[in-house]
Structures are given as C-alpha cells and as structure tokens.
Structure 1
Amino acid sequence: MNKVFIDGNSLNLEDFIKITRNNHEVQLTEEAIKNVKRSRDLVDKFVKEDKIVYGITTGFGKFSDVVITGEETKTLQRNLIISHACGVGRPLAEEVVRGVMLLRINALSKGCSGIRLETLNTLVEMLNKGVHPIIPEKGSLGASGDLAPLAHMVLVMIGEGEAIYKGKKMSGKEAMRMADIPTIELTSKEGLALINGTQVMTSIGAFVVYDTINLSKTADIAAALTVEALNGIIDAYDEKVHKVRAHQGQISAAANLRNILKDSKMTSRQGEIRVQDAYTLRCIPQVHGASKDCFKYLKEKIEIEMNAATDNPLIFTDEEEVISGGNFHGQPMAISFDFLAIGISELANISERRLERLVNPSLSNGLPGFLVEKGGLNSGFMIVQYAAAALVSENKVLAHPASVDSIPSSANQEDHVSMGTIAARKAMEILDNSRKVVAMEILAACQAIDLRGNKGLGLGTEIAYNIVREKITKIEEDRIMHIDMNLCDDIIKSNIIVDSVEEKIGELL
C-alpha cells in the first residue's frame, strides 16, 4: 500500500489527491508524534493547575468567561460536538470528506492544538480504513472555522452520527465497530481542536483548484479545435507578442496553442483569408492566461492553508504559552475562492462565445447554420448553445463574492465572519458548469471540422478529435443531444484528452 507521511508542514496538492482519490494511506512522522505529545502535556499541566485558558477551562464563544471545573471538561467537550452538529443540506462527496479528515490530521500534527495522540490516531485509522462521516454541505460561516460540518465529522469518532463504510450508509457507531476502530471519549481541549478550523472550505477548494488546472489545459485544446474549425489566424499566438507583455499565464497559453496546433493544415496566417480574427480567437492567450495566473495563485494559497494551524487557542510548547487568536477566520481563503470562481467563469464565458461563432452562419466563415446539413428540418447545435448560455449566465450569478458578506454570530462575540465555505462551494458549482460548456465547445468544434473537411489537424488537436470521435459520431440528423454532451463531459472528467496530448507533445502549461 502506498503511504504518505504527515508532519503538519509539507502536504501538497498532489499528495492530497493521492490520499483522497487514490486511497493512499497516511502515517504520522516521528517528529509529528513528538510535537503532539508535547502539546498535550502542556494542556494537562494547565488543567491540573486550574489555569483559566479559553476552550480548555472555559466555555466557548460568548461563554468564554464561564469557568469549567476539571471534572466537567469531558462533558464540556462532548456537549461542544453534539450542540455544534447543525449542518444542513446534501452530504459532501466522500472524497471531500476524506480531504476534510486529512487536512484536520495534518493541522493537528503540527503540535499546536493539544489533542491526545490516541485521539489523532483514531482519525488516522478512520481515513486509512475508509470510515467516512456524513457531513452536510451547509451551515458554516467560515469563522470560527467550519464548526458545524467539522462537528459532524467528530460525531462518528465518539460513536454518534452517521457514516459511509464500504459504500453503505450506517450509524457512526456501527461503522466504527465494523472497521474495528474503538470510539473515543473526548477530554479537555480536544473537541475544540477537532472542529475549530478551515478544513472543510480548504478541502472543497483543493479539489476545485486541482480539477480547474486540468480544465484550463482542456480549454486550450478546445479553443485550438475551434481555431481550426474557423480557419483561425495563428500569428496572434506568436511568442514575441506575448513576451512583450510578460504575463506568465498569457505566455503559457500562447505556447500551448502553438504546440497543440503544430503542423495543422486547418489554420491560416494573417492576410490569407482575413486580416484579423475576432477577440474570442485572437485573445485566447490573454483571457485563458489571466485565468491560469489566477489558478497558480490559488494553488499557492491552498498549499499554505493545507499546512496551517487554524484552531484556537494555539499552544506554543517552547514558550509554554496558550494564545487565543483568530487563525480560524477563513477570510484569506474566502477571498481566494471568490477570485477562483471568477477565473473559472471566464474560461466558460469565452468558450461559449467561441461556440456561438461556430453555430452562427453569420460568424462561422462558411459553415452551415447550427452545424447541421438540412437546417430547418434539423436544429443541430442550436439548443446546445442555449444550454451553454444558460450555464455561463448562472456562473455570473454564482461568481458574486461570498467574502463581502458577514452576519455576526455568538451574541456579537464573533462579529465578522468569512463565508469562505460558501465561496468554495460556489467555485465547485461554477467548475461543473464550466466543464460542461467546454465539452459543448469541443463537440461543436469536432462537428465543424467534419463539415468543413478535415485537411489535417495539429499534433494535439488530432489526438483530442480522435478521442471524441471514438465515442461520439458526427451528427448527420437530429438526435438527443444531452447524451452526447454528457459523454463529452465524462471524457473531460477522465482527463484522457489532456493526458494523451501531453504524452505526445509534452506537458501543457
């Protein structure tokens, strides 16, 4: 079994995907174990000394001034979990839940949270054995962290709540019994250590960032197919043009287009057919490139947050200090995920406009209207463009920032919150919509190439075209289009187009 070592400091996006999607096991490093033990020893010392420390010997939020006696600490921690499990809505996907568990393990491994090693090991066992708590997707304000959804994760650890185990939904107690993992009784600081953090928004966001980077490459391939279908002018992608502006994403997008379209017999040069193309073809590097820069920024931010201590209070063992701060506040990620939503939306926006040029006989340079012969009798791709337009319009609504909203909570003790988890969830929905729009463009571009006559595609576009045509044939007359659209969406999800093109021409940027 492949194994990833967890130390609280070095988790990256690639390892995150290996663990969550490919079921690689995790193991704490010796240094992490040492740090966790030291942190716990300090908590035990404070409890023994009856020292007043937020979340250890006091209540929570507005109740931070209520002192809790030593014998009440276990009741305090259990009450915290069961009272905070107020999630609503559909369950998060199992892979997202795995991400939540992994990120919580990694944060606790830093040794700033005061959790017992045996409690942390329980969560490690659950992840490795596939006990996945059912966590409702809604109910988090994104500060104090993802309290409500994380409480649902902890319910299973204490033998409550519900879980999925080996594909079956059951009580948390039964799932733990079947996986042979003992349930636990939380003690001082542990409940707070487990639920006070940004791991739900970060897990959702990590998947969006990873999948969006791949969609960005797919969008370059889709655009290249459309360029060929419309006999687009490739001079606009010349390296010199992009170097004098010097934005790295733009330079990368132009390089991708040149490599994907290499040796194509379907493109043109300026002046051969027309002097210049419309912006949706000519400005592909500028638009796609701006989104690529966004995604690069998000990858950096998400990897910082993956390795962050985001609970409260934080324990600093060298100084024997416990400091009540605000690392649980999701604002750094909330703003980032709002930015991510805009970056993804723009990939879909320009894709839909390219689709419009393909289906509109006034814009398609000689292609039949709506990409079908016997138009009128057949509607062809007419309503495909409608569907794409509906999705990009929905994206515009969803791209409204969540991070600019705040509703005070806990009797105004927690009077500014991030809504970061809402921002992450919106970005995930935008990603799903945008992938479908790109799928529609690919379908239309392949149809247009067939109708214009394939004179020889580029090194990358030929591979993409063949993959699509292995599963989806040219449309000769009207058929149920959503079947083809879903098939192409599945092709993009599998990443076979990007993987196959990269194998032939090298890594896309």
Structure 2
Amino acid sequence: MNLLVDGAEVSLAVLRKAWEAPCEVKLGDKARIRVAAAQATVDAVIAHGDQVYGVNTGFGQLAQVRISEDELAHLQGNLIRSHAVGVGEVLPDDIVRLLMTMKVIALAQGYSGVRPQLIDAICDLINNGIYPCIPSKGSVGASGDLAPLAHMSCVILGIGDARVDGKTIPAGKALAKAGLQPLVLAPKEGLALLNGTQVSTALALAAAFRTEHVLAAAVTAGAMSADAIKGSDTPFDERIHEVRGHAGQIAVASLLRQLMDGSDIRASHVDCERVQDPYSIRCQPQVVGACLDVLT
C-alpha cells in the first residue's frame, strides 16, 4: 500500500492495510506547507523571547526554569531519553508499523509545530522496514503513551534498538544500513513526539481488526454447520430480520443466505419434514449480528 498523508481523514480500511503488511508512507505537499507554517510559529515565539512550556522551559516541576536558546535542541533530546523507560516484551512489528503510521497522520495535521523533516524521518523508518523496539508496558495514558513513544523516537535519534527483517540490531546500524542519518530534534519536537496515544490506539485497532476476522470466520463456520446438519435457510429469510430492523442481524442473515446459496446439500433436503433446526443454528443472525453491531 502507498499512503500519501495530506491531512485528510484516513479510513479504518487504510489503517488495517498498514497493520496487515509493509507500506510506503509519504507526506503530501499540502500537509508539508501546513506543517512548515506551524513550525515557523514556534521559531517566531522563540525569536520574540516568549516563554512557552516545553519549547524553552523545563518540564514538570521545572516548568518555570527558562532554557537558553543554545540548549533547546539538547532539551528535546533529553526529554526523549529520560522517558525511554518502558518494560516488558517488545511490541510486534505490525503494531509498531501501525502506530508510526498514525503518528505521521497526527503530525501531518500541522498543529504540533514540528518540521516536515521530522515527519519524513518517521516515514523513512516505515518505508525501510525499520521498526523501533518498543517495550509493551509504560504508558501513563493521560498525557499520552510517553514511554512507548519515547522508545519509538529514540531510533530517529540513532539510539536504542530496532527490528529489521525480523532481527534486532542497534538503531544506528539500522539507519546506516538504509542510508539514513540520525536526526537532531528542533524545539518542541520531542514534546510533539511523546504526546499522543498512537500506541494505545494501535493496540485497540489491532484488537478490533482481529475481532472482525473472528466474526467473519464465525459466520462462515455457521453457514457450514447449518449446511452440514442439513439445516434450513428459512430462519435467515430477509423478511424476518427486516421486521426487527437491527442492522447487524440483517447483514449476518444476508451473509448466511449468500454462503448457503447453491449448496447441493441444502437442495437434497429442501422438502424434508423437519420442523425446525437447533436454536444455535437458526438464531445465528440474532447472536452474531449483535456482535457486529458492537463493532460498527
């Protein structure tokens, strides 16, 4: 999949593709202009001498401490390093690819004050199959997935570890192998990288996508089961389910009819004397349809 990120809405179908397989992600020209304009605002604030949290001040209890202009880049790098304290097993590559794609989408809106070069650097990781080693535990949730996103950001700086072709190697080596250079962060960029819930969202989306797979398998298995016991498709008649009006129920009944349509087994017992099939067979649209309604 090739994804041009221009600041427009991105569908779940596109995010599913980013999760399922390697993809190419690029920042669009319109988004690039918007991002550059926001970054120019940050530069103007610094040039004017204004004191702005996270740009030229410390963090947390050090919010009142003014940082000199020659230390601003150092401040952002230190922010990343200090928050890279996650624990647990590393997240799988598909989750990391999805969360990096969502970070690009978020920054491309042009509200974070980062340079286009920073977004390009994340795109370079995605496009070269360089997946930061991100421990699975460490998010605080409120301000964002601080520790996990710090580990993601470390690789941009050339520190930490990354997975390439299924192998874990030092970040600097991974960048060099792809012909990339570590990036020095500009004012506010460290803060923009850490603030966000892309890790939590990626995990939630992956769970939803897997649930969709399970749901599709359940409907398919249900149709096969109904056919195998020489069941009737009458309980799936659209008129029955239109009366109830539940979208999921109607959709599942339709899928069951389609899957059973043309079956030689069903044709062999069309005139049998059985009154009705087991409850678990005939009420599949009501049960599985309710699950579908939850997802949609």
- Report the alpha carbon displacement of residue 213 of structure 1 after superposing the two structures with TM: 2.4
1:244 matches 2:243: yes
Residues 43-83 of structure 1: CA deviation (Å, up to 9, x unaligned): 01111223122221233345444443323322221121111
Distance 2:20 2:175 in 1: 21
CA contact (8 A) 1:233 1:277 kept: no
1:166 matches 2:183: no
Flag the 1:235–1:270 CA change in 2: closer, same or farther, 3 A: farther
Q: Which amino acid aligns with 1:91?
A: V
Q: Which amino acid aligns with 1:295?
A: L
Runs of 5+ consecutive residues of structure 2 not aligned to the other structure: none
- Report the alpha carbon displacement of residue 239 of structure 1 after superposing the two structures with TM: 0.9
Task: Give the match for residue 273 of structure 1.
Answer: 274
Aligned length: 294
Distance 1:28 1:213 in 2: 30
SS at match of 1:127: helix
Q: Which amino acid aligns with 1:228?
A: D
Q: Which amino acid aligns with 1:212?
A: T
Task: Give the match for residue 282 of structure 1.
Answer: 282
Distance 2:75 2:272 in 1: 76
Residues 478-507 of structure 1: CA deviation (Å, up to 9, x unaligned): xxxxxxxxxxxxxxxxxxxxxxxxxxxxxx
Distance 1:288 1:224 in 2: 12
Flag the 1:21–1:281 CA change in 2: closer, same or farther, 3 A: closer
Distance 2:60 2:7 in 1: 27
Task: Give the match for residue 140 of structure 2.
Answer: 141
Distance 1:16 1:51 in 2: 39
SS at match of 2:37: helix
- Report the alpha carbon displacement of residue 257 of structure 1 after superposing the two structures with TM: 0.9
Runs of 4 or more above 6 Å deviation? 268-271
- Report the alpha carbon displacement of residue 131 of structure 1 after superposing the two structures with TM: 1.4
Task: Give the match for residue 58 of structure 1.
Answer: 57
Distance 2:147 2:250 in 1: 43
Q: Normalising to structure 2: TM-score of the pair?
A: 0.91
Task: Give the match for residue 292 of structure 1.
Answer: 292
Task: Give the match for residue 184 of structure 1.
Answer: 183
- Report the alpha carbon displacement of residue 260 of structure 1 after superposing the two structures with TM: 1.0
Task: Give the match for residue 83 of structure 2.
Answer: 84
Question: Root-mean-square deviation (CA), in Å?
Answer: 2.1
Distance 1:277 1:107 in 2: 50
Distance 2:168 2:176 in 1: 14
Compare 255-264 and 171-180 and name the one that shifted more. Answer: 255-264
Compare 169-178 and 34-43 and name the one that shifted more. Answer: 169-178
- Report the alpha carbon displacement of residue 173 of structure 1 after superposing the two structures with TM: 1.2
Distance 2:258 2:84 in 1: 51
CA contact (8 A) 2:143 2:195 kept: yes
SS at match of 2:244: coil
Distance 1:270 1:137 in 2: 57
Distance 1:274 1:229 in 2: 17
SS at match of 1:5: strand
Task: Give the match for residue 197 of structure 2.
Answer: 198
CA contact (8 A) 2:220 2:256 kept: yes
Task: Give the match for residue 102 of structure 1.
Answer: 101
1:228 matches 2:227: yes
Q: Which amino acid aligns with 2:274?
A: I
Q: Normalising to structure 1: TM-score of the pair?
A: 0.54
CA contact (8 A) 1:235 1:269 kept: no
CA contact (8 A) 1:239 1:254 kept: yes
Distance 2:277 2:119 in 1: 61
Residues 285-304 of structure 1: CA deviation (Å, up to 9, x unaligned): 011111112222xxxxxxxx
- Report the alpha carbon displacement of residue 202 of structure 1 after superposing the two structures with TM: 1.9
- Report the alpha carbon displacement of residue 261 of structure 1 after superposing the two structures with TM: 1.4
